Chains A and B, each alone.
Chain A
Amino acid sequence: MRGYLLVLLRSMTAVAAGWAEYRLDFAAALLTALVEAAGRVVAVLALVRAGVLDLAPAEGFVYLGVATVVSGFFASVVGPNLVAFSQRLLEGSLEFVLLKPKHPVFLLLVQTASPWGIPDLLAGAVLLAWGLSALGVGAGALGLGALALVLAVAVAYLFAFLLALVGFYSVHVHNLVNLVAGLFGAGQYPIRAYAAPVRAVLTFVLPVYLAVNLPAELFLGRAAAGGVLGLLTVLGGLWLLADRLFALALRSYASASG
């Protein structure tokens, strides 16, 4: 376990060193995040006012904050790593990962990161802080929510990885990640506000409730603490599935230059 942590740490410091060159892009990403955060705030207020969402505005901000953090995580970590993974598949350089004596899925999930999600991560944190402080949420709920958020992000990540693993033959992983991130974006409002069929899909087919709504509801004290256990169980299940599926995919993997 310590070995894995060290790999994570060193990968991340190496990657951060490569960011310095893209200041203009970063400024643009910051502007985009600002525009989108403003748009989301206006939208959630409009939906509350129209009676579509049965929430206090501050509660809406908590849901929104969690969703924005998840979105930032997709832009910073999920997307870049899954794209790098598919690139390795196309170039046939997956070999180097497979030759290493650590779990290849782990190595694939921590190989890179991009700064593009940072504006969203910041915006999400601000929204979350705004909502939570307005509501005067206690330390217990804060801790529980934060823990759930970490687990939820991991659930979303593994879920996206599984989709990429199944889909990499026919699609650009980039598009797939964008779509999944967009669907997880539905969690910016409580899932129960959606029409019943959509609600069912977002709960049972895609883990949107689990990965976006549940942390928000733990922050708000609307969900039982047992929800954290549920997240842990799902996370463990997804890991086992990823491990098995990856081993299966490897059996049929023959790289480009046979």
Chain B
Amino acid sequence: MVRWILSQKFLAYLEALVAQNLAYRGELLFFVLAQSLPLLFLALWVEGGPRPDADYARYYFFAWLAGFFRPTGVAYNLGYEINTGRLSPLLLRPFSPVLDHLADQLALLLVYLPLAMPVAALFPALFPGFLGGLSVARLPGYALYLALGFCFHFALGWLFGALAFFLERSEGLLEAYYGLLYFFGGMTLPLDALPPGLVRWLGWTPLPYLVYHPAALAAGWERQAGYGVLAGWTLLTGALAALAWRRGLARYSAMGA
């Protein structure tokens, strides 16, 4: 599996996926714009918040950027393949269909990042102190958060997609999760604005480590490391996903689909 990912073939496959994704030119733009909606909250803080504008700009920039490293649609696509029986031909190939989705998400990342650049360029243009407060030393920590977050969300999508083997529809539940992430992960508000009791409690969930802590770290607001909690959640989710996938496949083939 790993060897396949590192092979030439995988690159060719990735290229085809990039082409496929580029065909929906309008959609890509919309995804980038939709990802940028939480920046409306930035427009609130710079108008009435206590910190300097550039501080908020840095926080929201990194919170926004993290969004592109968050695989979405894995659960939906897997569930669709399972429910419609399209999974069957995919199972005949010499690699797991899950890898398809991994490749697809990586291809999407390659497609989105260049499109996000014009929006990114707005930050230093709109907020004069933006670049001054950045530090390269903080970026590896941010990148580690993003990598862990990517794995966590991919595993989560895999898990909920695999649930489609057992339930007719399962993506609906994931919507509720994204609602939690949106409000309690730091996408809309930095968590230090929420009641401290609530934030302490949230610290045991993966939510703050997906947006708030990475963004706050990269923006230079704090130096707290919570990689362990997120790694734990990722391992747990991945294990559950693998289990659900294996059990589900057995059930799927037993039904003769």
Q: Do chains A and B touch in the complex (CB under 8 A)?
A: yes
> Once the chains bind, are B49 and A39 in contact (CB under 8 Å)?
no
Assess whether A52 is interfacial by the CB under 8 Å rule.
Answer: yes
Contact with B along A1-39 (1 / 0, CB 8 A): 000000000000000000000101101110110111011
B179 touches which one: A22, A39, A52, A193 (CB < 8 A)? A39
Give B24's nearest chain A residue, CB to CB. A172
A194 touches which one: B25, B30, B31, B40 (CB < 8 A)? B40
> Once the chains bind, are B176 and A182 in contact (CB under 8 Å)?
no
Contact with A along B210-241 (1 / 0, CB 8 A): 00000000000000000000000000000000
Assess whether B182 is interfacial by the CB under 8 Å rule.
Answer: yes
Q: Which of A40-48, A130-138, A227-235 contacts B (4 or more CB under 8 A)?
A: A40-48
Say how far B174's CB is from chain A's closest CB, in angstroms: 9
With contact pairs A52-B47, A194-B47 given, residues A170 and B40 touching in the complex (Cβ less than 8 Å): no
> Once the chains bind, are A36 and B179 in contact (CB under 8 Å)?
yes
Q: Which of A57-65, A183-191, A236-244, A247-255 contacts B (4 or more CB under 8 A)?
A: A183-191
Assess whether A51 is interfacial by the CB under 8 Å rule.
Answer: yes
Q: Which of B13-21, B164-172, B247-255 contacts A (4 or more CB under 8 A)?
A: B164-172
With contact pairs A47-B44, A193-B48 given, residues A175 and B172 touching in the complex (Cβ less than 8 Å): no
B44 touches which one: A39, A176, A189 (CB < 8 A)? A189
Assess whether B37 is interfacial by the CB under 8 Å rule.
Answer: yes
Assess whether A171 is interfacial by the CB under 8 Å rule.
Answer: yes
B37 touches which one: A24, A29, A47, A185 (CB < 8 A)? A185
> Once the chains bind, are B44 and A52 in contact (CB under 8 Å)?
yes
Classify chain A's interface size. 35 or more
> Once the chains bind, are A39 and B180 in contact (CB under 8 Å)?
yes
Assess whether A50 is interfacial by the CB under 8 Å rule.
Answer: yes
Assess whether A143 is interfacial by the CB under 8 Å rule.
Answer: no
Assess whether A150 is interfacial by the CB under 8 Å rule.
Answer: no
With contact pairs A42-B194, A182-B34 given, residues A29 and B47 touching in the complex (Cβ less than 8 Å): no
- How many angstroms between the C-alpha atoms of A198 and B48 in the bound complex? 14
Say how far A132's CB is from chain B's closest CB, in angstroms: 24
With contact pairs A170-B25, A172-B26, A198-B43 given, residues A46 and B180 touching in the complex (Cβ less than 8 Å): no
Say how far B205's CB is from chain A's closest CB, in angstroms: 13
The prevalent SS among residues of B at the interface is: helix
B176 touches which one: A28, A49, A170 (CB < 8 A)? A28
Say how far B243's CB is from chain A's closest CB, in angstroms: 22
- How many angstroms between the C-alpha atoms of A50 and B190 in the bound complex? 12
| Chain A residues whose C-beta falls within 8 Å of the C-beta of B175 in the assembled complex | 28-29, 32
Give B172's nearest chain A residue, CB to CB. A28
Say how far B126's CB is from chain A's closest CB, in angstroms: 9
> Once the chains bind, are A183 and B37 in contact (CB under 8 Å)?
yes
Assess whether B189 is interfacial by the CB under 8 Å rule.
Answer: yes
Give B178's nearest chain A residue, CB to CB. A32
B49 touches which one: A25, A52, A186 (CB < 8 A)? A52
- Beyond A42-B198, A53-B44, A193-B47, 13 additional contacts (C-beta under 8 Å) are A24-B172, A32-B175, A35-B176, A38-B183, A47-B189, A50-B48, A52-B48, A54-B48, A171-B27, A172-B30, A175-B27, A176-B30, A194-B43
Chain A positions within 8 Å of B, measured between CB atoms, are: 22, 24-25, 27-29, 31-32, 34-36, 38-40, 42-43, 46-47, 49-54, 167, 170-172, 175-176, 178-179, 182-183, 185-186, 189, 193-198
Chain B positions within 8 Å of A, measured between CB atoms, are: 24-27, 29-31, 33-34, 37, 40, 43-50, 167-169, 172-173, 175-176, 179-180, 182-184, 188-189, 193-195, 198
